[in-house]
Amino acid sequence: MDGAALYGAIRAAVVEGDAERAGALAGEALRAGLDPLEILDRGFTSSLRHVGSCWEKGELYLPEMMLAAEAVKAGLAVLKPRLSAAGASKAGGAAPLVCVMGTVAGDIHDIGKNIVGTLLEAIGVRVVDLGTDVEASRFVGAVREHGANLVGMSALLTSTMPAMRQVVEALEAAGLRRGVRIAVGGAPVTKAFAQEIGADGTAADGMGALRLFQSLAAKEVPGAV
Ligand code: B12
């Protein structure tokens, strides 16, 4: 299969929620010499966006969206080792940094967060992944426990975006805000929102997130480990 055919087959596997086939196709695309980041973006995440809009139009049901997400996870698992290599070569360098990452309270979407975490690990950042549905107090505890100098939050629901502000405020109340740089992300998050809640920046995709974290890390963080 050529590139276009492979991307078409990946989209079909994701829409049909066929995790086994999605994983196999990710391997086939790598063997065909396609760029792992492009496979992720053109093959998997764009298919998931398509699934989201089908669901919005009532053309798919929630269990089908869940199966599609599982298919993307199967693809991501195959791509992960090669994505790490791609992230390292595109971003360059290694930094002695610790990033606490999590999807905020009330939200269980984790595919985007996992992609960002994988790419960060690839450039030598130690990622403390708190998982999903993470309360503000857990972000605070983890920053303190691990001496983190970076915080990454993800939210995919407009209803959970306010929880990001709560994390910023909780870090402030704990006296930890000055020691960390905070990045927020997820499909509904905008630059204006990031500014409004007092975060240090946002990015729309994995490579953008990598660049953002690198530029934030380059700025002096008082009290950083
Ligand atoms: C897959 C999916 C699910 C899966 C999640 C599986 C999982 N393990 O993550 C399941 C089926 C479980 C699900 C459930 C629900 N979902 Co949903 N879901 C999606 C879908 C289709 C794709 C999300 C995704 O993974 N995208 C791919 C990733 C790679 O993109 P991403 O997350 O945006 O991440 C990238 C960037 O944003 C950025 N980024 C992400 N995080 C971070 C963090 C930092 C620090 C930085 C810098 C950057 C960054 O980089 C990432 C990599 O490129 C979206 C549709 C969409 N258009 O987003 C709906 C969507 C988000 N879901 C939606 C809804 C409503 C729900 C439910 C409420 C449905 C329901 N009735 O139960 C529940 C919510 C449950 C909950 N409490 O969280 C709505 C949200 C609407 C809104 N405005 O709030 C959407 C938009 C669908 C729609 N079109 O209506 N969902």
Same domain, 33 and 44: yes
- pLDDT classification of 182: cutoffs 50, 70, 90: very high
Share of residues in the chain with pLDDT > 70 (%): 92
Domain with 12 in it: 3-90
**Residue that is last in its domain, among 90, 122, 147:** 90
Whole-number Å distance, alpha carbon 82 to ligand 1 midpoint, is: 24
Same domain, 98 and 124: yes
Atom 51, ligand 1: residue with shortest CA distance: 112
C-alpha 42: how far from its chain's center? Answer: 16
Only one residue has tokens 């700025």, namely 219
Atom 12, ligand 1: residue with shortest CA distance: 66
What CATH number is given to the structural domain containing 44?
Answer: 1.10.1240.10
Residue 79 belongs to some domain of the structure: yes
Whole-number Å distance, alpha carbon 40 to ligand 1 midpoint, is: 16
Tens digits of residue pLDDT in 52-96: 899 889 998 889 988 998 999 899 899 988 876 655 554 444 446
Residue 225 belongs to some domain of the structure: no
Average pLDDT (188-202) is: 98
3-state secondary structure string across the chain: CCHHHHHHHHHHHHHCCCHHHHHHHHHHHHHCCCCHHHHHHHHHHHHHHHHHHHHHCCCCCHHHHHHHHHHHHHHHHHHHHHHHHHHHHHHCCCCCCEEEEEEECCCCCCHHHHHHHHHHHHCCCEEEECCCCECHHHHHHHHHHHCCCEEEEECCCHHHCHHHHHHHHHHHHCCCHHHCEEEEECCCCCHHHHHHCCCCEECCCHHHHHHHHHHHHHCCCCCCC
Residue 224 belongs to some domain of the structure: no
Same domain, 74 and 130: no
Same domain, 110 and 190: yes
Same domain, 98 and 209: yes
Residue 223 belongs to some domain of the structure: no
Distance between CA atoms of residues 80 and 156, nearest Å: 22
Same domain, 29 and 119: no
Same domain, 178 and 200: yes
Please give the mean pLDDT across all residues of the chain.
90
Average pLDDT (163-174) is: 98
Residue 203 belongs to some domain of the structure: yes
Whole-number Å distance, alpha carbon 108 to ligand 1 midpoint, is: 8
Residue 82 belongs to some domain of the structure: yes
> pTM for the complete prediction?
0.88
> With a 6 A CB cut-off, is 152 part of the ligand 1 pocket?
yes
**Residue that is last in its domain, among 55, 72, 90:** 90
Q: Which atom number of ligand 1 is nearest to the Cα of residue 212? A: 47
Same domain, 57 and 105: no
Residue 135 belongs to some domain of the structure: yes
Tens digits of residue pLDDT in 19-56: 999 999 999 999 999 999 889 888 998 898 899 899 88
Indicate whether 169 pLDDT > 50: yes
- Domain count for the chain: 2
Same domain, 103 and 83: no
Measured CA angle at 179 (ends 173, 183), to 5 deg: 90
Average pLDDT (126-152) is: 97
- Comparing 7-21, 52-66, 129-143, 166-180, the range with the smallest average pLDDT is 52-66
Residue 41 belongs to some domain of the structure: yes
Share of residues in the chain with pLDDT > 90 (%): 67
**Residue that is last in its domain, among 68, 90, 112:** 90
Average pLDDT (147-155) is: 97
Residue 205 burial (10 A CB sphere; 0-12, 13-18, 19+): middle
Residue 96: count of CB within 10 angstroms of its CB: 11
Same domain, 147 and 169: yes
Indicate whether 178 pLDDT > 90: yes
Same domain, 24 and 82: yes
